[in-house]
Structure 1
Amino acid sequence: MNNKAVSSALDTACEVRFGQVGLVQLRVRSTDVKVIHDELAARIAAAPQLFERAAACLDMSALETQPDEAQARAFIDTIRQVGLLPIGVAFDGTETINVLARALDLPVLTQFRAQGKAPRPAAVASITPAPVATVEPAMPALMQHQPVRSGQRVYARNRDLVVMTVVGAGAEVMADGCVHIYGPLRGRAMAGARGEITARVFCQEFNAELVSIAGVFRVFETIPPELAGKPVQAWLDGDDLRFARIGG
């Protein structure tokens, strides 16, 4: 390659690459947009740091009948109103979804597939992480030796996070792998931040505000007495976030 060709390659205005990104998958189970709006707003208000301006994929496969364009636009408007950013619709195996996506000027995301029509009781919408490639921590765990104080965030990308001291109320620790806290957890802990469903959260003293694994989260207003101040681990069992004392 001559110098002119090298210079031309370096001076290009943009690059196009394909890669994994974190997405919120929003599966609607009702056509009542007001109920959907209220339920989503309540869930997002419980953990705003997880969902602020998050990219979202609209999945309509759980509805009894496929919505028309007007209904789909109402879903999109509702998603925007609660602070999410719709970037596509989930593929449901039909050509109709492609037509609808073109009318909405959104792409069809084929990594999402219909997962059955049976609704969950008392739920009109669910928020789950998008399926992404398994995240294997490629580096040694990130070691945090200083207290993580209110308003601070520590993020371990592509690896585990080990906190050797306290995570204070209002603080946030995140990892693409597991989160290990050898001290009190009084703030928020999020493992599997890019969708790794086998990630876990471990802590020495459990008094968490929020725990999340692969986007499935629980907010604690009152800590269950059997967990309060105890060594605890959290993990995903299907779609359920489970907690148990360690060694007890």
Structure 2
Amino acid sequence: MASATVSYEQCGELKFGQVGIANLRIRTLDIAALKSEMQERVERAPKLFRHAAVILDFSALPACPDVETTDALIDALRNAGVMPVAIAYGTSAVEKLADQVGLPILAKFRAAFERDDTPEPARPAPPPESKPVPAAAAPAASVPNQEPGLLQTQPLRSGQQVYAAGRDLTVCAMVGAGAEAIADGSIHIYGPLRGRALAGASGNAQARIFCREFNAELVAIAGTYKVLDEIPKKLLGKAVQIWLDKDQLRIEELA
């Protein structure tokens, strides 16, 4: 019997934005496959994904879907356990669709994906002394600095969130389960990380996360994430650094 061909490419790419809301970039309108993928995510990490707010992003499709297809997709995702709450800004057709299906438009969630798809404008050459450093040995990356980093000295407890806009975040306490530490730059946590840490929230792929005691529900760099069940158990409870290497999230124990 001939074996079936298995495709490992996801129909919907899920990323996290500045406020911890997930952006689902629809790659193909295979509603059954999208529902199955989302159910798998919910089953793997129910505390994180069950009833999670999701933004629908149709920018990867060749054309805006019709109302009937979009309604079917929304129903399928709700049945999978998540809550579509808005549509990412796109064309005038997308705006009209959002009005027809009764969802608001959100613009800011496209930014990180547009960095992937659009060539960056030419930039001045760096000074001679600026040389690339291998990823494993690179120092902590920061947002090109406008302000000093944000310092959080109190523990973050379930339901609490701190967001360092345009800068790094240093947490000198615990990030508890259900809490979120978010920064446009890098995140340094000098205590247990049991909740979520999202660095490079505006799309800075050079950002990093440093943690003294790692038991995170979720970690993300520029929207690319891993949940607890995807992390090697040998790293749990250890001091680690986390960075993005060619769109793959890497986690390594600190010496």
TM tier relative to shorter chain:
0.5 to 0.7
Distance 1:138-1:226 versus aligned 2 partners, 3 A rule: same
Equivalent residue letter for 1:73 = T
Distance 1:51-1:238 versus aligned 2 partners, 3 A rule: farther
Q: How far apart are 1:234 and its partner, in Å? A: 0.8
**Structure 2: gaps of 5 or more residues:** 1-17, 100-104, 121-141
Whether the 8 Å contact between 2:64 and 2:94 is mirrored in structure 1 is no
1:239 and 2:238 correspond: no
What is the rounded CA distance, in whole Å, between the counterparts of 1:34 and 1:49 in structure 2? Answer: 18
Greater helix percent: which structure?
2
Distance 1:49-1:190 versus aligned 2 partners, 3 A rule: farther
**Identical residues among aligned pairs (%):** 38
1:40 and 2:38 correspond: yes
Whether the 8 Å contact between 1:203 and 1:233 is mirrored in structure 2 is yes
- The CA RMSD over aligned residues, in Å, is 3.8
Please state whether the residue corresponding to 1:226 is helix, strand or coil.
helix
Higher-Rg member (1/2): 1
What is the rounded CA distance, in whole Å, between the counterparts of 1:102 and 1:160 in structure 2? Answer: 34
Whether the 8 Å contact between 1:135 and 1:177 is mirrored in structure 2 is yes
Equivalent residue letter for 2:217 = E
Alignment of 1:18-37 (within 5 A): 24=23, 26-29=25-28, 31-37=29-35
Equivalent residue letter for 2:23 = V
Distance 1:36-1:71 versus aligned 2 partners, 3 A rule: farther
Whether the 8 Å contact between 2:147 and 2:166 is mirrored in structure 1 is yes
What is the rounded CA distance, in whole Å, between the counterparts of 2:24 and 2:184 in structure 1? Answer: 18
Distance 1:37-1:189 versus aligned 2 partners, 3 A rule: same
Alignment of 1:1-248 (within 5 A): 24=23, 26-29=25-28, 31-43=29-41, 46=45, 47-48=48-49, 52=53, 54-61=54-61, 69=66, 73=70, 77=74, 81=78, 82-84=82-84, 85-89=86-90, 104=97, 129-131=112-114, 136-221=144-229, 224-247=232-255
Please state whether the residue corresponding to 2:34 is helix, strand or coil.
helix
Q: TM-score, normalised by structure 2?
A: 0.61
Q: TM-score, normalised by structure 1?
A: 0.63
What is the rounded CA distance, in whole Å, between the counterparts of 1:175 and 1:26 in structure 2? Answer: 22
Q: How far apart are 1:49 and its partner, in Å? A: 9.7
Please state whether the residue corresponding to 1:180 is helix, strand or coil.
strand
Q: How far apart are 1:72 and its partner, in Å? A: 5.0
Measured against aligned partners, the alpha-carbon deviations of 1:111-158 in whole angstroms (never above 9, x if no partner) come to x8xxxxxxxxxxxxxxx9433599534211111112222222111111
What is the rounded CA distance, in whole Å, between the counterparts of 1:210 and 1:150 in structure 2? Answer: 14
Equivalent residue letter for 1:167 = V
**Structure 1: gaps of 5 or more residues:** 1-20, 91-97, 113-127
Whether the 8 Å contact between 1:176 and 1:196 is mirrored in structure 2 is yes
Whether the 8 Å contact between 1:147 and 1:166 is mirrored in structure 2 is yes
Instruction: Name the stretch that deviates more: 211-220 or 81-90.
Output: 81-90
Whether the 8 Å contact between 1:135 and 1:194 is mirrored in structure 2 is no
Please state whether the residue corresponding to 2:35 is helix, strand or coil.
helix
Equivalent residue letter for 2:70 = R
Measured against aligned partners, the alpha-carbon deviations of 1:141-177 in whole angstroms (never above 9, x if no partner) come to 1111122222221111111100112222222211111
